[in-house]
Amino acid sequence: MDKNSLKKDLIVFAAVVIFYALVQVFIQTGIIGPYYSLNLILMCINIMLAVSLNLINGFLGQFSIGHAGLMSVGAYTSAILTYYYDLPLVVALIVGALAACLAGLVVAIPTLRLKGDYLGIATLGFGEIIRVVFLTNETVGGAKGFFGIPKLTTWTWAFFLMVLTIIVIKNFIDSSYGRSCIAIREDEIAAEAMGINTTKYKILAFTIGAFFAGAAGALYAHNFYTIQPEQFNFMKSFDIMTMVVLGGQGSITGSIIGAIAVTVLNAALSSLAAMRMVFYSLLLIIMMLFRPQGLFGTTEFTLDQVLGRRGRLGKSAGNKASV
Amino acid sequence: MQQFLQQMVNGLSLGSIYALIALGYTMVYGIIRLINFAHGDIYMLGAFAGFFAISAFHLSFIPSLIISMAICALAGMLIKRVAYKPLRTAPRISMLITAIGVSLFLENGGLMVFSPSIRTFPTVFPVKTFSFFGGLVKLTVKDIVVLTVMIVMLILLQYLVYRTKIGKAMRAVSFDKDAASLMGVDVDTTISYTFAIGSALAAVAGVLVGIYYNSVWPLMGIMPGLKAFIAAVLGGIGIIPGAVLGGLLIGVTETLVAGYGNSLYRDGVAFAILIIVLLLRPSGLLGKNQREKV
């Protein structure tokens, strides 16, 4: 850690805090109305989902389309804790995320032996099974949905959890663990030959992704008073995947931009439901045909680029971009 | 006993529909290793084509079926040409994401064009029940139509794949694309034919499901599409008899679960089967014995 990077971290930290404080003040004073603050929170949740899925799809290179299922585990677990046991949000969040983590582990251990599209279908299958479990469980409302969840998610919670997600995943990727994951993505057989325990790293990355998906789910549940199993079907997984693909698989900055873009589009086009999805699907197809690597590819937006210097990938680049 | 046999009959009818969709999955996967997610939506298109042919143009069953098959065959070839062909050399994940994109496009395009309401499929066949074995098994005309059409299609497909030049080309391409191309097989055209045939079979399933359950709507293809894919994996993907076996097994299991257990578990069962199969026998039930792939 040289002096220069410390300075950069401080700049990013200051920018994050200032951005948070500004929005918080705007919300408090009512300049940002309830509709917009709701969408800002949703944006943070979507960024968490996209970045955590990107860890699995983009950096580990394993095709998972069951992210909404893991999210729903976090959502339902935390909702049960706050609704039936009156626990504070922080406990519900941690337990929800850990439950999703555990579910991720259960999904990962058998399915990660599979490759490519088979893995995709298996994760989709698990996601659907999780949905059916909630659908048939009457204590959580069954098909009607879980009503009366206290609204505990605030801008502060959503924003700082999002920042935490980005920092943890960014640091994970920059660590030797993350490098091993990228090696697995590039060539699994070669990675194994270099002595990387591929199963271990796959499971590790998958459970970390699941953890943050669960945390995002917990925030989501406490933002809308109610959750339904249908909200977490594979269409939701595709939604998250769109964000990741749009931004670029293997770029955290890309996922953040993708999540912001999708949230804004969702809000702007909410009055024309089917039209919006047609637009998404065309976007997805055109993206794959003409720019399969996504907007950012595997590159990151860093502070060095802003300052006109070329250097190592900024440690906190992701934070900066979200601001 | 009587209830069990009746559930079996219903299961076989449902399974025949899954089997017809699964055939398209298995053929496309066999030839270009792509899970064609849009296949379930082709089936939806087929159901709507049949619906309009019967209700708007007042055609009878066979002409409607043929029109629906033709429309879906064209749609399948068009999708292959526009969305998949440019990605032939791209990573398989790109093609898979494109397939999901095409699927979403057809579903939501369907919602826009056909409106989200559920439409009632006109009654084509007389509502009549035949009893067999002294009333133990009751077959409706619909059951008989579904099973007969499935068997006829299967015979036609077997003939096409094993007795015609196109079928030979398809088998050659699925076995080794480069070698087939060196032997003078037009790989691209062959893939187009595979899409066309698979889509036509999905159209048959669509029309049959309209007749069997009397309703069509734009999102009807999602679940049957996924389940038919599971059927294809269960039987051994790339293997034609496997797709039929898988389809029938999924159909029967699902009907039995819905009949004796909780109908809400219906959707979960197929996925549970999928995961068990992938873990225990990833090559599918018929995966080892049969090596011929189309």
Q: Does any CB of chain B come closer than 8 Å to the CB of residue A245? A: yes
- Span B156-196, pLDDT tens digits: 999 999 999 999 999 999 888 899 999 999 999 999 999 99
Q: How far apart are CA B22 and CA B243, in angstroms?
A: 5
Does the beta-carbon distance from B265 to A136 stay under 8 Å?
Answer: yes
Asked whether the predicted pLDDT for residue A316 surpasses 70, the reply is: no
Nearest Cβ partner of B109 from A120, A136, A278?
A278
AA letter at B245: L
- Span B67-97, pLDDT tens digits: 999 999 999 999 999 988 888 887 777 888 8
Pairing of strands B137-140, B215-216: unpaired
CATH code, A38-322: 1.10.3470
Count CB-CB contacts under 10 A for residue B148.
11
- Chain B: which residues have CB within 8 Å of chain A? 34-35, 83, 86-87, 90-98, 100-105, 107-109, 111-112, 116, 226, 229-230, 233, 262, 264-265, 267-268, 271-272, 274-275, 278-279, 282
Nearest Cα of chain B lies from the Cα of A30 at a distance, in angstroms, of 37
pLDDT (0 to 100) of residue A233: 86
pTM above 0.95, yes or no: no
Q: Does any CB of chain B come closer than 8 Å to the CB of residue A150? A: no
pLDDT (0 to 100) of residue A318: 44
User: CB within 8 A of A189, min separation 6: which ones?
Assistant: none
pLDDT (0 to 100) of residue B290: 42
Lowest model confidence (mean pLDDT) among A227-236, A287-296, B99-108, B280-289: B280-289
pLDDT (0 to 100) of residue B110: 92
Q: Does any CB of chain B come closer than 8 Å to the CB of residue A269? A: no
DSSP structure string for B172-210: HHHH-HHHHHHTT--HHHHHHHHHHHHHHHHHHHHHHHH
List C-alpha distances in Å: B158 to A229, B25, B149, B240: 42, 16, 14, 8
Q: How far apart are CA B109 and CA A278, in angstroms?
A: 6
Q: At what angle do helices B141-163 and B2-32 cross, to 10 degrees?
A: 30
Does the beta-carbon distance from A284 to B100 stay under 8 Å?
Answer: yes
pLDDT (0 to 100) of residue A311: 45
Closest-CA residue to B233 (of B40, B93, B35, B91): B35
Chain A partners of B87 at a C-beta cutoff of 8 Å?
288-289, 292
Predicted ipTM beyond 0.90: no
AA letter at B240: I
Mean pLDDT of chain B: 88
Nearest Cβ partner of B105 from A111, A135, A281?
A281
DSSP reduced 3-state for A272: coil
The number of CA neighbours under 13 Å toward the Cβ of A78 is 37
Q: Does any CB of chain B come closer than 8 Å to the CB of residue A290? A: no
User: CB within 8 A of A36, min separation 6: which ones?
Assistant: none
pLDDT (0 to 100) of residue A320: 44
- Give CA A218 to chain center in angstroms: 12
DSSP reduced 3-state for A227: strand
CB contacts < 8 Å between A and B, how many? 114
- Span A25-34, pLDDT tens digits: 998 888 888 8
Asked whether the predicted pLDDT for residue A319 surpasses 60, the reply is: no
Q: Once rounded to an integer, what is the mean pLDDT over residues B265-276?
A: 85
Q: Nearest chain A Cα to B111, which residue?
A: A274
Give the tokens for residue A311: 């250097």
Asked whether the predicted pLDDT for residue B289 surpasses 60, the reply is: no
Nearest Cβ partner of A285 from B101, B275, B278?
B101
Q: Does any CB of chain B come closer than 8 Å to the CB of residue A143? A: yes
Does the beta-carbon distance from A241 to B100 stay under 8 Å?
Answer: yes
pLDDT (0 to 100) of residue A307: 67
